[in-house]
Every structure is written in structure tokens, then in C-alpha cells.
Amino acid sequence: MNPRLLAIVLGIALAISVGINLFAATAAYTALSGQKKIERALENRGEEGRRPSARELLATLEPETRREVRRALREAGLRARPDFQAARQARAEAVEAARTEPFDRARVDALLAQSRQAELRGRQRLETDALAVLATLDPEDRQVVAAILAGRSRGGRDGERARQADPRSSSEAPRAER
């Protein structure tokens, strides 16, 4: 092979290799920096949109106040538990009735209404008891504990199941029953 032709072929091969390497390096840099940006955005969104759990809220209280509030909320959860259990039972019966043949819409509708009513009774009981607890607190503590009325924290059903399975987390009983 002619040395001049060999030099041209090697030069073209080198140019293609450099081009491919530059493309790969640019793609890798873009992917990594984009991933970091997405992760930061998710972290920021998660922290801003997340309401602290009841446990996190109560941790800011004085120990004696925290014990009393936890005790009162635990008792409220235990009082409301039968209502939430009835709601779950009625919903399970409604699901089972919906699966059977012939489909009885009136029965399923009645069971779902029964479930909603039981859940509302339980929530009303929890909220009434929470208001009684709030009435006993000083304004600073009331401001902290009032955030519990905002509803569920993060965690979804898996977090609730974990709390139900852990008997030590009985201060979370009102949430576990929803």
C-alpha cells in the first residue's frame, strides 16, 4: 500500500475515532448533569410538598406535653378503630358483592354507603378528640399539633400497613385506621 494512501486512511480513521469519542463524552456529560438536575428537582419538590408526620410534629413538643398528646391521640385512635374497621369490612363486602353473579348494584351501593358512613363517623370521632386535645394546649404547642388536622402524611398505604404492624407506633393509630 502506498504510504501516502495509508496516511490518508489512518487520518480519516483517527478523525472518525475522535468524533465518536467527543460525541460519547458529550452524551455522557449531558446525561449525568441532566440526571443530577432531575434528582435535585425531585428532592426539592419532595421536601416542599411534604407535610411532616404526626411523629415528627410531636417530637418538637416538650417531653411531658408530647406524652400527654400522644396518650390522648392514641386513646382517640382506639375509640375510632371500630368505625374504621367497620368501614373496611363494608368495603370488602362491597368488593366481594361486585364480583358475584348476578350483579346486585343496590347491594354494592348500600355497602359502599355503609363504608363511607362508618369512615365519616371514625374521622369525626378523631377530629372531635383532636380538638379536645388542642383545647388543653398553650398557643405555641397548639400551632404545632394543629397541623395534624391537615390529614395524611406521606407514606400511602404501605406506610399505614407498616404502622399497623408495629404495635409500638400506637401514637399513629388514628392515621393507620384511615
Cell numbers found for residue 148: 395534624
Which residues, including other chains, have CB under 8 Å from residue 144's CB and lie 6 or more apart?
57, 58, 60, 61
Residue 146 pLDDT > 60 = yes
pTM above 0.75, yes or no: no
At residue 175, the pLDDT reads: 40
Report, as an integer, the average pLDDT of 85-89.
Answer: 95
Residue 154 pLDDT > 60 = no
Report, as an integer, the average pLDDT of 53-68.
Answer: 83
Share of the chain above pLDDT 90, in %: 38
Residue 136 pLDDT > 60 = yes
Q: For residues 153 and 14, give the distance between their C-alpha atoms in angstroms, rounded to a whole number.
A: 58
Which backbone phi and psi does 15 adopt, to 5 degrees? -65, -45
Cell 475515532 appears where? 17
Average per-residue pLDDT for the chain = 79
Q: Angle of helix 139-146 relative to helix 63-99, nearest 10 degrees?
A: 20
Residue 92 pLDDT > 70 = yes
Residue 171 pLDDT > 50 = no
Residue 172 pLDDT > 70 = no
At residue 170, the pLDDT reads: 40
Q: For residues 101 and 30, give the distance between their C-alpha atoms in angstroms, rounded to a whole number.
A: 57
Residue 148 pLDDT > 90 = no
